[in-house]
Chain A
Amino acid sequence: MTDRRSLVSVVDDDESVRESLPQLLRLSGFAAQAFSSAEAFLGSDVVSETSCLLLDIAMPGMSGPDLQQELARRQRKIPIVFITGLADASIRPRLLARGAEECLIKPFSEAALLDAVRAALRRPYSQPSRPT
Chain B
Amino acid sequence: MTAQRATLDGGWTGFRAVSGDDAAASAAAANLISILDTVEVPIVVLRRDLMIAGFNKAAADMLRLSPSDIGRAPRESSVLAGLPRLEEQCSQVIASGLECRADFRDGDRCFVTRITPYPQGDRRVTGVVLTFTNMTAFQACVDQVIYERECTKAILNTIADPLVVLSADQRIHSGNRAFYALFLELASLRAKLKGIFADSRTFQSVKVDQVIPGEGRRTLILDARPLTLPDHSERRVLVTFQDITARKQAKAANDLRTIAERKEELRRNEAFLAEAQRLSLTGSFSWRVTTDEITWSEQLYRIFEFDRGAPLTPELIGSRIHLEDVPSLRGVIEQARSGGTDFECEYRLQMPDESVKHLHMVAHSVRDEDGRLEYIGAVQDVTARRLSEQALGKAQSELAHVTRATALSALTVSIAHEVNQPLSGILTNASTCLRMLAADPPDVEGARETARRTIRDGNRAADVIARVRALFIKKESAIEAVDLNELTREVMALSLGDLQRNRVVLHSELAKDLPAITGDRIQLQQVILNLLRNASDAMADVHDRPRQLLVRTEREAGDRVRVSVRDAGEGVDPQNMDKLLDAFYTTKTDGMGIGLSISRSIIERHHGCLWAQANDGPGATFSFSVPSDPASVPDAAPR
| Chain A residues in the interface with B (C-beta under 8 A) | 13-14, 16-17, 19-21, 23-24, 27-28, 58-61, 63, 83-88, 105-110, 113
A95 to chain B, nearest CB (A): 15
Say yes or no for B505: interface residue by CB 8 A criterion. yes
Contact among A16, A23, A83 with B460 in the assembled complex (CB-CB below 8 Å): A16
B503 contact set on A, CB distance < 8 A: 60-61, 63
Pick the interface stretch among B347-355, B428-436, B606-614. B428-436
Is B420 touching A58 in the complex (CB atoms < 8 A)?
no
CA separation between A16 and B429, bound complex, in Å?
9
A106 contact set on B, CB distance < 8 A: 417, 420-421, 423-424
B635 to chain A, nearest CB (A): 46
Known: A85-B417, A106-B423. A21 touches B428 (CB 8 A): yes
CA separation between A43 and B53, bound complex, in Å?
194
Is B432 touching A24 in the complex (CB atoms < 8 A)?
yes
Contact among B424, B428, B453, B457 with A85 in the assembled complex (CB-CB below 8 Å): B424
Interface residue SS majority, chain B: helix
CA separation between A61 and B446, bound complex, in Å?
33
Is A20 touching B413 in the complex (CB atoms < 8 A)?
no
Q: Nearest residue in B to A114 (C-beta to C-beta)?
A: B431
A92 to chain B, nearest CB (A): 15
B460 contact set on A, CB distance < 8 A: 16
A80 to chain B, nearest CB (A): 17
Interface residue SS majority, chain A: loop
Known: A58-B497, A58-B501, A86-B413. A16 touches B425 (CB 8 A): yes
- Counting chain B CB atoms within 10 Å of each CB, the highest count among A16, A23, A28, A88 belongs to A16
Say yes or no for B479: interface residue by CB 8 A criterion. no
B25 to chain A, nearest CB (A): 187
Which of chain B's residues 399-452 have a Cβ closer than 8 Å to chain A?
413, 416-429, 431-432, 435-436, 439, 446, 450
Is A14 touching B421 in the complex (CB atoms < 8 A)?
yes
- Counting chain B CB atoms within 10 Å of each CB, the highest count among A13, A24, A28, A88 belongs to A24
Contact among A13, A24, A87 with B500 in the assembled complex (CB-CB below 8 Å): A13
Is B453 touching A16 in the complex (CB atoms < 8 A)?
yes
CA separation between A113 and B425, bound complex, in Å?
13
Say yes or no for B267: interface residue by CB 8 A criterion. no
Contact among B427, B446, B453 with A109 in the assembled complex (CB-CB below 8 Å): B427
- Counting chain B CB atoms within 10 Å of each CB, the highest count among A27, A105, A109 belongs to A27
* CB pairs A–B below 8 angstroms (22 shown): A14-B421, A14-B424, A16-B425, A16-B453, A17-B421, A20-B428, A23-B428, A23-B450, A27-B432, A60-B500, A63-B503, A84-B417, A85-B420, A86-B413, A86-B416, A86-B501, A87-B413, A87-B420, A106-B423, A106-B424, A107-B424, A109-B427
Is A61 touching B426 in the complex (CB atoms < 8 A)?
no
B439 contact set on A, CB distance < 8 A: 27
CA separation between A63 and B460, bound complex, in Å?
24
A59 contact set on B, CB distance < 8 A: 500
Which of chain B's residues 449-488 have a Cβ closer than 8 Å to chain A?
450, 453, 456-457, 460
Contact among A13, A85, A88, A108 with B418 in the assembled complex (CB-CB below 8 Å): A85
Is A58 touching B500 in the complex (CB atoms < 8 A)?
yes
Contact among A14, A23, A107 with B432 in the assembled complex (CB-CB below 8 Å): A23
CA separation between A17 and B456, bound complex, in Å?
12
Known: A23-B432, A59-B500. A107 touches B426 (CB 8 A): yes
CA separation between A13 and B435, bound complex, in Å?
25
Query: Could you tell me how many residues of chain B have their Cβ less than 8 Å away from some Cβ of chain A?
Result: 32
CA separation between A23 and B446, bound complex, in Å?
10
CA separation between A9 and B460, bound complex, in Å?
25
Known: A16-B460, A27-B435. A85 touches B500 (CB 8 A): no
A27 contact set on B, CB distance < 8 A: 432, 435-436, 439
CA separation between A113 and B427, bound complex, in Å?
11
A13 contact set on B, CB distance < 8 A: 500
Is B416 touching A110 in the complex (CB atoms < 8 A)?
no
- B308-339 vs A, Cβ < 8 Å mask (1 yes, 0 no): 00000000000000000000000000000000
B550 to chain A, nearest CB (A): 14
CA separation between A27 and B456, bound complex, in Å?
21
Is B417 touching A107 in the complex (CB atoms < 8 A)?
no
A58 to chain B, nearest CB (A): 4
Please list the 3 inter-chain residue pairs (A to B) with the smallest Cβ-Cβ separation, ordered nearest first. A16-B425, A85-B417, A85-B420
B432 contact set on A, CB distance < 8 A: 20, 23-24, 27
Q: Nearest residue in B to A63 (C-beta to C-beta)?
A: B503
A86 contact set on B, CB distance < 8 A: 413, 416-417, 501
- Counting chain B CB atoms within 10 Å of each CB, the highest count among A20, A23, A105 belongs to A20
B425 contact set on A, CB distance < 8 A: 14, 16-17, 19-20
Known: A60-B505, A110-B427, A110-B428. A19 touches B453 (CB 8 A): yes
- B500-541 vs A, Cβ < 8 Å mask (1 yes, 0 no): 110111000000000000000000000000000000000000
Is A85 touching B497 in the complex (CB atoms < 8 A)?
yes
CA separation between A50 and B422, bound complex, in Å?
26
A108 contact set on B, CB distance < 8 A: 424, 427
Q: Nearest residue in A to B435 (C-beta to C-beta)?
A: A27
B419 contact set on A, CB distance < 8 A: 85
Contact among B431, B446, B456, B504 with A16 in the assembled complex (CB-CB below 8 Å): B456
Is A20 touching B450 in the complex (CB atoms < 8 A)?
yes
Is A24 touching B497 in the complex (CB atoms < 8 A)?
no
Q: Nearest residue in A to B423 (C-beta to C-beta)?
A: A107
Q: Nearest residue in A to B418 (C-beta to C-beta)?
A: A85
Is B500 touching A16 in the complex (CB atoms < 8 A)?
no
Is A17 touching B416 in the complex (CB atoms < 8 A)?
no
Q: Nearest residue in A to B497 (C-beta to C-beta)?
A: A58
B436 contact set on A, CB distance < 8 A: 27
Q: Nearest residue in B to A16 (C-beta to C-beta)?
A: B425
B500 contact set on A, CB distance < 8 A: 13, 58-60
A21 contact set on B, CB distance < 8 A: 428
Which of chain B's residues 68-95 have a Cβ closer than 8 Å to chain A?
none
- Counting chain B CB atoms within 10 Å of each CB, the highest count among A21, A23, A86, A110 belongs to A23
